[in-house]
Amino acid sequence: MSAVASQGLPRRLLVANRGEIAIRVARTARDIGITTVVVYPDLDRASAHVRFGDVAHRLAGTGAYLDAEQLVEVALENGCDAVHPGYGFLSENAAFARRCVAAGIRFVGPRPELIELFGDKARARALATSCGVPVVAGTDAPATLDEAADFLASLGPGGAMIIKAVAGGGGRGMRVVTDVADLPEAYARCRSEAERGFGTDAVYVERYIARARHVEVQVAGDGSEVSHFWERECSLQRRHQKLVEVAPSPSLTGALRERLFDATRRIAAACRYDNVGTFEFLVDVDRPGADDELCFIEANPRIQVEHTVTEEILGVDLVRAQVELAAGRSLAQLSLRQADIPPPRGHAIQLRVNTESLDGTGEARPGSGTITAFAPPGGPGVRVDTYAYVGYRNVALFDSLLAKLVVSSPEPAYAAAVARARRALAEFDIEGVPTNLAFLRSLLDHPDVAANTVTTRFVEEHAAALL
């Protein structure tokens, strides 16, 4: 293949996903002149993403979004020369990426070895350590029950640890243990959850950071050079799953931010990162200035749900970057070398609107119904990425994320973005299906949220009071 041909953009892209992210990908494809094939199984034919492709192809079976063989066949049948996996489903499945490549189809993501490396959190931890980047104190994997017990004892009285699935994701396969008496059951449950959810029961343990902030760095690489796209803070979580994401972090000091970028650059350069990805860290609020104040936890070799806030503060299209990097273009050719990345403008906040109902304690349960009214907010600095429409009945089998409300403000003060988030949330009306809109409104009204003096436990500690 000539150099020029190898750098040509795909002509036809299979979007191997559903819902809002399938629409997000199809939009960029159309912006840059690539036709798309979208897919759906029968039970999901009402999802709006079906209308966003140039071709909509029906898949057989209910587990179709996870059916690698069928998706590659559909791509070939429809003349696709690239596949975008979105997030979730097959996006971190190295075997799927290899299958695509073997069939002569570009996989829009990092090379399979990187997907494998970061799919194993224990290997990722080892890589960080070898780069001189602190990780949370913990064990190697797989950790036996005895090793986990020894580790908990080593933390001393009042110590807490978290059991984590080596292949975990989406906040699942994690359990916090403070009392050794609870360990055998928690350990067994975590392993069986990991086996069921991720196909391997290997777990490891880490010291549980009681007061942590979650910060992460967006990167893009071309296999020889890496750029970072500043950070996002995602401390507002429920059950280890993100609920609100902010870019850049309103609370990072200059020195800590430099350490964060330096740590990310080291790990990303060591593995010659290619395509876009995210490196995640925890900040231990109780260890200011300590070597392990900032610890690497994992990296995600795919587009993330919260990529939007980075796009808003920098004016970049990360899905476009993914497609162009997958086509063999370099960061230099894309004008995405570090020196090309502008400083962020103001702040952006993403609020995840989920179909769920909250009980009296603030516990969320997935909810379903047919949408009878859907009035998204608008005006300056408001972006809504959604697949919702009036008449749509959500399918409980899939993720509960219905809409991503993304607000941005060019003003330096974080308060301006918070005010805009409140305004947009007040405008948003969804009827017919239970959502967490009211919960998000009270969350944004809380002074600690407005000041961003929150930790990853804020939502669970305040949920009942916020209802």
What is the binding site for ligand ADP (CB under 6 A)? 136, 162, 168-171, 174, 206, 208-209, 212, 214, 237, 240, 280, 282, 297-298, 456
As measured in angstroms, the least distance from the Cβ of 196 to ligand ADP is 15
Q: Which residues contact 179 (CB under 8 A, 6 or more apart)?
A: none
Whichever of 307 and 383 has its CB closer to ligand ADP, that residue is 307
C-alpha 48/C-alpha 55 separation (Å) is: 13
Q: Which residues contact 289 (CB under 8 A, 6 or more apart)?
A: none
Whichever of 81 and 306 has its CB closer to ligand ADP, that residue is 306
| Whether residue 302 lies in the annotated active site | yes
State the greatest distance between any 2 C-alpha atoms of the chain, in Å, as a whole number: 64
Closest by Cα among 34, 28, 17 to 308? 28
Catalytic residue among 175, 213, 232, 302: 302
- In 156-225, beta strands by DSSP E: 161-165, 174-177, 203-207, 212-222
Phi first, then psi: give them for residue 213, nearest 5 degrees.
-115, 140
**Chain-centroid distance, C-alpha 63:** 22
How many CA within 13 A on the CB side of residue 376? 19
H or E element at residue 425: helix 414-427
As measured in angstroms, the least distance from the Cβ of 136 to ligand ADP is 4
Whichever of 222 and 306 has its CB closer to ligand ADP, that residue is 306
- In 208-336, beta strands by DSSP E: 212-222, 226-238, 241-247, 274-284, 294-300
Closest by Cα among 282, 310, 287 to 298? 282
Whichever of 30 and 240 has its CB closer to ligand ADP, that residue is 240
Rg over alpha carbons for the chain, rounded to the nearest Å, is 22
As measured in angstroms, the least distance from the Cβ of 287 to ligand ADP is 12
Q: Which residues contact 54 (CB under 8 A, 6 or more apart)?
A: 35, 36, 37
Whichever of 97 and 454 has its CB closer to ligand ADP, that residue is 454
C-alpha 72/C-alpha 104 separation (Å) is: 10
Closest by Cα among 68, 299, 282, 88 to 197? 88
How far is the CA of 397 from the CAs of 46, 254, 366, 401, in angstroms?
14, 43, 10, 12
As measured in angstroms, the least distance from the Cβ of 17 to ligand ADP is 18
Whichever of 202 and 316 has its CB closer to ligand ADP, that residue is 202
As measured in angstroms, the least distance from the Cβ of 460 to ligand ADP is 10
As measured in angstroms, the least distance from the Cβ of 175 to ligand ADP is 11
Whichever of 27 and 457 has its CB closer to ligand ADP, that residue is 457
* 463 DSSP 8-state letter: H
| Number of residues written out for the chain | 467
- Burial (Cβ within 10 Å: 0-12, 13-18, ≥19) of residue 45: exposed
As measured in angstroms, the least distance from the Cβ of 165 to ligand ADP is 8
As measured in angstroms, the least distance from the Cβ of 94 to ligand ADP is 16
As measured in angstroms, the least distance from the Cβ of 269 to ligand ADP is 21
Whichever of 82 and 166 has its CB closer to ligand ADP, that residue is 166
Whichever of 70 and 139 has its CB closer to ligand ADP, that residue is 139
- In 251-361, beta strands by DSSP E: 274-284, 294-300, 347-354, 356-358
Is residue 314 within 8 Å of residue 341, measured between CB atoms? yes
**Catalytic sites, residue numbers:** 302
